[in-house]
Chain A
Amino acid sequence: MLKQKLKKEHLGLLFDKLKVTHGVLGPKVENGVVTLAEIDAHDIPSGYEDHQQPGGYRLIKGERPEIFSFSIGPDSFKRFLQPPLREVFAFRRAAGISITRPGAEQRPLAFIDMRPCDLSALKLYDRIFLRGPVRDPYYDSLRRDSLVFVLNCLYPNDNCFCPSMGTGPEATDGFDVALTELSDSFLLEAGTAKGETVLAGLPAGEVDDSDMREKGARIELCRKRIKKFIRAGELPGLIYRNVEHPRWAEIAERDLECGNCTQLCPTCFCNSTYDALGLSGISKKSYQVSGRRMRKWDSCFSKNFARVHGGNFRPSRRARYRQWMSHKLAYTMEQFGLPGCVGCGRCITWCPAGIDITKELEALKSAR
Chain B
Amino acid sequence: MKRPWIGVFKFTSCDGCQLSVLNMEDELPDFVSLFQVAYFREAGDMPLRGRFDIALVEGSVSTGWQKAQIIEVRERTRHLVTIGACAAAGGLQALRNWADIEDYKRLVYPSPDMIETLPCSTPVSDHVYVDYELWGCPVNCDELSEMLGSFLLDRKPGIPAYSLCMECKRKGVPCLLVAKSEPCLGPVTRAGCGVLCPSMERPCYGCFGPKEGANIGSLLEAFRNAGFSSHECVLLLDKMNTYAFREAGTGEGRF
Residues of A within 8 A of B (CB): 30-33, 35, 55-59, 73-75, 79, 84-85, 253-260, 263-264, 274-282, 284-286, 289, 296-299, 301-304, 317, 349-354
Contacts and interface: CB of A to CB of B under 8 A. Distances in A.
Contact of A85 (B3, B170, B211, B218): B170
Given A31-B174, A275-B158, A260 B169 contact: yes
Contact of A286 (B1, B145, B179): B1
Contacts of A79: 172
Contact of B27 (A73, A279, A302): A279
Given A263-B170, A280-B26, A304-B161, 5 more contacts: A33-B179, A55-B178, A55-B222, A258-B165, A282-B34
A73 B184 CA distance: 20
Contacts of B33: 284
B239 to A, nearest CB: 19
A31 to B, nearest CB: 5
Interface pairs A-B: 6 shortest CB-CB: A263-B169, A278-B145, A84-B170, A33-B174, A258-B187, A286-B1
Q: Which of B31, B148, B166 has the most CB of A within 10 A?
A: B166
B174 A263 contact: no
B127 interface: no
A303 B214 CA distance: 12
A282 B30 contact: yes
B165 A259 contact: yes
Q: Which of B162, B211, B221 has the most CB of A within 10 A?
A: B162
Given A256-B219, A299-B162, A57 B24 contact: no
A254 B180 CA distance: 21
Q: Which of A75, A274, A279, A281 has the most CB of B within 10 A?
A: A279
B149 interface: yes
Contacts of B169: 74, 84, 259-260, 263-264, 297
A280 B30 contact: yes
B27 to A, nearest CB: 5
A90 to B, nearest CB: 16
Contact of A278 (B1, B27, B211): B27
A304 B218 contact: no
Given A57-B178, A303-B212, A255 B218 contact: yes
Contacts of B212: 302-303
A79 B148 CA distance: 32
B160 interface: yes
Size bracket, chain B contacts: 35 or more
A174 B149 CA distance: 47
B1 A284 contact: yes
Interface in B135-187: 142, 145-146, 148-149, 152-153, 158, 160-163, 165-166, 169-175, 177-181, 184, 186-187
A117 to B, nearest CB: 19
Given A258-B186, A279-B145, A281-B149, A253 B222 contact: no
Given A256-B218, A259-B163, A302-B160, A278 B172 contact: no
A351 B215 CA distance: 14
9 contacts: A59-B179, A74-B169, A274-B158, A279-B30, A280-B145, A282-B152, A298-B166, A299-B162, A352-B222
Contact of B1 (A59, A276, A285): A285
Contacts of A350: 175, 178
B112 interface: no
Given A259-B165, A278-B149, A352 B187 contact: yes
Contacts of B175: 57, 74, 260, 350, 352
Contacts of B253: none
Given A284-B33, A302-B161, A353 B170 contact: no
A351 B26 CA distance: 39
Contacts of A259: 162-163, 165-166, 169
Contact of B174 (A32, A277, A298, A353): A32
